[in-house]
Every structure is written in structure tokens, then in C-alpha cells.
Structure 1
């Protein structure tokens, strides 16, 4: 595989080149470019299989490079490099044909190796143009089908497919990581070969049906129905084939599969779009782990407002972390996760990257997003269920926040730490110097003097700040009346709560609630 690195920052290019042993990975770095114009010139000169492309560059940015690659139909796969705040650009890049993206702060051996693995799985170890040999009739048919999936329609007359009421199906082995444990290192290749043999045998008795194994987990089935005039009849036939494949694999290999089915299309030119549709349908297993078949035509079409809302939640979560408003962050996290469950507007890989980015922001100085989950990488890699993944990350967020709080308290005396921890747990109760004196067996005056000396602010100023932070979260929920919120955070008087709230935020509680809608 040949790779070209494109980034205007020399240190980034050096970091990518030195992050892993590329030669050991079977990769040749054919060059590097510092802007978009130079990138296009080097693509024409070096013929890379993959371009690692920065989005924001001088002269010509990454999006312009992608448009040019698309317009000229240059046969190269592009992986976009971005920062955490480049989500809108990343979405546009994917629309323009980028196959994947990853964040520059994630740049480490694990992320780069995963990127290589993903490209090899989808485009082959030698790049898209040399994935399958042409030495045999079987391999030539595979090459023709593979090229059709990626928009290069040629010689399909050599297959059994005909134009008319066509579909693309994608299926993968359910719980693959568990299934593969039945096999040893020496015998694990038996599984994909067996799947290929079984499915090929089933389709050999079907007219206008072809099979292509994309990797050890993922396969494609092409079905055309040129003799059927009715879409209902065509879909009925597709469902019959789906049931035959599922039943045979369950019977002979004891594996379950998950399928994504495209919408119908009329001719060979629609194969690439059908492939993308089947992939989008299949990706929804992330939100519905117990469902076995997904139809693209049944998916809810998302408006631009949905994606804007998802971006807004992400911006709010990052802002909360920067302000160290941990309670607000956890509240927003819950809303974002509930929103994703309702709208299903983000794919699994994108959700994972958001989680890792947020975890990176929480982590102590020196952490990397990849390092944050490295100790549990195998476990995380085997989870493809949004509910389970969110539960694990939520646990890690809480642990990291707790650790960060403990680190922040290390510079204080044991008494001050005890006061802060007690305040965090009992902010809604009546707190006083006398209470702390009795709890920790010291004089109230000593509590007041020591706290101000170590923290730099009076104890009640600190307590009120903590109460107002809690109130800001509660005010976002309209089920709580303002006087209820006042009570819930330790104020016996709504008027006093309003005065203190305005002192620390610049808004009355009512104004703040309106501003945050």
C-alpha cells in the first residue's frame, strides 16, 4: 500500500511518519505535501493508494482537494485529518468521498494501525486498484463485482446480473469476536471459507444473483430481478434469499448474521449507491442489537436540524468540560445519548470518536484519547451495542472525573479536603462553620481561617458557587419550578436564591432558564 501524507504542519507529518513502523505494516510512504496544490501534483506523480489529508491548509484546503479528486475521478482513497472542532468540515469531506477520518489529537500507533486495517478490509492489502487478482475466471468475476461497488461499472455481462429491479445486500457475522473464539489461530481461516462456500452454493441455484466476500466478517450479495415487473415480487424474492442464507449458516456453521438491504435501483449505475444504502442500513444494528435485518427504505431520513442539534450537544459538553462543570457535563451527556437513541443520526465509528475525544478532555495532562481506553481496548473493540458502549464510557467518565477531583484536592490539607468532599455530598443541606467544627473537631474560626488561606476564597463563597453550579443544571429541566430548584440546592428562600444566583451568573434564574432554551 502506498500512502501520501498531506498536512501544512511539518510536526504533524513527522508525527505520522514516526508513529509506527510503516514498512512492517507493508506500507510505503511515497511522499508528503504541505498544501492542497502540492498534494494534487504529488498524487499525479506518485500514484498513492491512500492520501492522509488535512482539512485546513493554505492555497487549497482539503475540501477543495477532495472535490478535484471526485471531479477527475482519481482512483485514490482519502482519510481526513481533523481537530475535535472540525465536525462540519468532516461531514462535508465524507460527502465528497473521504472513506474515513480521525482526529489529530488521537494520532498514535493504535489509531493509525486501526485506520490501515479498515482500509485493507474495504479496499484490499494493495489498495483499491489491486485488491483481487485476475488470474482465474472466479477472481475476474470478483474484481468486476468489487469495482461495481465502488462506481466502476464494466464487464458485468460476464456475471449473472441483468439490469432491472436490482438490490445490494450486505451481511456480517453477529458477535464475530465471540464466534471466532471457537477456532484456533491455525483454523480461524476456516470460518470465512466455509461461509463463502455455503452462500455460493445457495446462490448457484438462483438466477441473477452474485456473492462477494469483502473480508472475514463482511459479505455482499447482488440480486437483480429483470424478469419480475413488480417491486413487491422483487422484494419477496430478496427476502426469500435472505432467509435461505440465514437458515443455512445457522444450520451448518451455527452462526447468526445481520443484514442490510438497499432500496431497489434500476440499472448497474445504481450499484454504488445501493452499496452505500446497504451499509447505512447495516450500521443501525449499533442501536438495535437484537434485530437481524435492516432495510434502507425503512430508515428515518434525517433533516439538517437533527445534525445541528447533535453538534450543539457536543459543543455544550466540551464547554462544560472546559469550565469543569462536571454535573452539567453528565446531564448533557445523558441528553446527547438519549437524542442519539431517538434519532440514530451518528454511525458507530463517529460515536466512538466523540466518546474518546471527551474522555481525552477529562483525562489528566499527558493523556491521549487512545491511551484513555488502551487498558480496555479488547473489551471496547468487542462491543457493537450503543447501550453497552455508552454504559462503559459513562463509567469511565465518572471514574476520570472523580480522579481529577481527587488530584485537584491534593494540594490542600486533609481538613480542607474533608470540607470540600462533605460540601459536594451535602450541598442541599444546612451548612455552617459550627457544623464543620463539630464534624471535624476543630474550632469554627480555625475552619474559616484555614479554608480561606488554602482555597483563596471564603467557605460560604465556595459553598454558594457549588450550589449555583448544581442549580444551573436543574434549571434546564422545566419540570422543576424555580422555588423547587432553590430548595433542592440548599436555599430556604427563593428571593435569597435569586440574589445569589445573579451574583455568580449575571442572570436571574428566570433569565438563565430562557437563555439556555
Structure 2
């Protein structure tokens, strides 16, 4: 049913129109009425009418002024003009205002009115369909443009080449030649992704960018992109009129909102020197290193502003740096660890960088020790507060001496904890994880004991079956390769003894709870 408004200053005419038509049969609710254009416009502020039937000559606001007001305010009802005038000037002006029909009051009959309102209803439906179609097309275009923009910015962030055609195809609000870069790193992003967002990276990115958009859309040239669940990047045109104080206030608000509504803890850094977006990856990487080297006394959620360009002395990802160029397939000895520290000295690393690498080495040591029953407990008995001691050490030589001492202690405990057969078997497994035929029987033959005896001996001294140990070792090796190489997933599967990458993917998902590709997707930056 449609809603109709009759605007007429002559009461008898209004009564006649209202009472001479079966409005329900014509598809309309009972008409509303107004005595002039002013009353009608006030009523339109409360009710969305589908059809307006209005006289021309009325006090306070005439019919043509009412229609002009409707058009100026995008009030989309269909209009039927009523008038006693036959002057062409009125008819012409009514037509220019795109009215639906023109009825001559002295000659109109109820059937004429019904015909006019039904025609208006048909036009109203057509207008609605056109508006819906236009809205769908606009939404599709905006979604497409948004996706193209997001893909291009993520490519730039990853350091990928963007062609000239793509630059022309994607309209950016910020200046591609001179934009200020800010990074917002989510310190607990992976935890929030798995919890609040049920591992939906698209939803995570949408939520984060939506909050950023709300805060920064007032900027004259602004873009943002989110690389879930690690970080978001905010781009401001170099010519932005926003004051530094207002800009910093927006970032402070951003931190508060993300923490309040999404439980996201953030770190933020911004460089004041504009860059060409082709260098986005380098700029973002440099700012992330600034965050890595933040002094402990600076609150984590405070925006760090770098005057000029951020240029850390050495950029690296610790997980990637401790790769196969340092470690063979077997667990490294203390001599290899000492070699790592010599390389750190050569690269003139900061204390924070050396501390981070030391923490990773300690983590690797504890992971190795945990695979031997009783060794981890004994190591903690010897040094109960390892990480606290590590944090308290102030120089690189002190860090080196401390980690080497723990490493040598763990090696001595490990080598003294197992029978020779088990130790040989562990080394054999590490060297042969790529071999599809690696199994209990071949390993028992290698250490020269019976299959049954070796199975009992291995379980007794490691706390797990041989099959469990091999599977865990292969999982660890696969994760290491995903972090530190560009090998395809099927190549990684082959290198850890699984000829079917599909089978390995299912096994990994079953044991770990997510795909191995998640490590690869979070590797960049």
C-alpha cells in the first residue's frame, strides 16, 4: 500500500477528492491532507509519502515552490499537479519539475484521479527499482575499487612490484609521490584473531580498518590497509593540513578504541618525512624496527614520531636470520652459537637486537631440552630464572657468555641422559627426516638392536613413542622451512618425508589446529 498526501487550500475540493475514491482498491492508504505547501513540507518531515497531489496557488508556500523544495532535498515522491489554471506557463514549469501528471480541477472526474494515482504508483515502483539497481552498482563498484586498492597497498607493503596500469586503475586519496607513513602493530593480534574473530582474517581486517577510517576520514588525503593479524598501515598525504597535535590525538584515540572494543594491544610509529608509495615496504619495515628498539620507559601504546625518515642500523627478522645458513638439520653445538655472536658483533647490532636473538636461542635450547625426560627440569634447577637474568644483562659479551654457559650445560645433561643407542637414534632421525622410509625398523637396524627392544628403550628414555617423536620433529622442521625459505608447500612436505602435500596439510591441521600456510602469510614484514 502506498501513502499519499493531498495539498489543497480549498476544503471542499479536498473533501471531494478524499471521499470520491476507493483508496484501498486503488492500492493506497487513507490520504493525509495539508492546506498549503508549508504544512505539507512539515508533514513530509515525519512521513515518507509515495505520491503528493498538490494545488498550485496556495498561501504561504504554493505548489510549485513545494515541489522545488522537495527536489532540492531529494524527497523522491511522485507529484500530481492540481490547478484551475490552463495557462501554459504553469503547465510548462510543472513539467520542468518532472511532475507525474497535471489535472485540471474544473474538468477532472474520480476516474481521472484514479488513473493519475495509479500511474504515479507505477512510476514510484520504477523509481525504486532504478534506485536499488544504482545502489547495487555503486556498492559493487566501491567494493571492487576497495579490493583493488587493498590488494595494491598490500603488494606495496610486501615489497612487490606494482605496474603503471595498476597505479592508473586504482584511485588513491593520499599522494602516491609524497605520503607520511605510520604503522600500527598489533602485539596480541594472533591471539585476538583466533579468539574474538574465530580465525577470520577478513573480518579482523575489516574491523581494524573501519575504526581507523572513522578516526582519520577527516584528513584531506588518507588511506589505510590492514595485514591481519600483524599490523595496519596509515598513509597521510604529505600536504595534509592536520596539525601534529590533532594527528597524535587521533592515534591515541585509535589505541584506546582498539583496546576497549577488540582487546587489541598496539604499538605505533610514524615518520614525518613523506615517501613515494613505491618505497612503502622499506618505510614500514624501518618503523617496525623503531618499535623493536623502543626504550622500555616509553609506554607501548604511545605514538613514536620519527622526525625525518626512520633508518635503523640493521633490519632483520630474527626467525629468518637463524636459518639454515647457520644451522644444519641437527641441533647446533656451542661452537655454532659462538659463531652467531661473532656475526652479531660484525654487524654492529643494537643491544635490543642482540637481546632478541639471545632470547630466541634460549627458546630453541629449551625446546630441545624438553624432548629429553628430566633435562628441562634439571636445567631450570641449575638456572631457575633464565629469562629474567637475560633481560638484566647490559652488554653483548655478557649475553654471549650467559647463553653459551647454558648451552654447554644443556649439552652435557643431554649427552649424559641417554644410552648410546637412543642418542645415536635421535641424531639419525634429525639427519633423515626427509626420508619417507624413516621408521622404527630402519632406525633400530641403524643402532644395531632389535625392533622390539629399541621401541621399549626409546619410549622409556624420551617419554614418547618413536612415531610420535618423528612426527613432532617433522612438524618442527616444516615450520622452520616455512619461516626461513620460499619453498612451495609441496616442496616442504617432500623435505620432511611426506610425498603427498595434501596428506601433510591435513595432518598438520589436525595436530596444530591451523594450516602451515599461516606461518608463511605472517612471514613478510
Pick the TM interval, shorter chain: 0.3 to 0.5
TM score, norm. by length of structure 1 = 0.34
- Structure number with larger C-alpha Rg: 2
TM score, norm. by length of structure 2 = 0.34
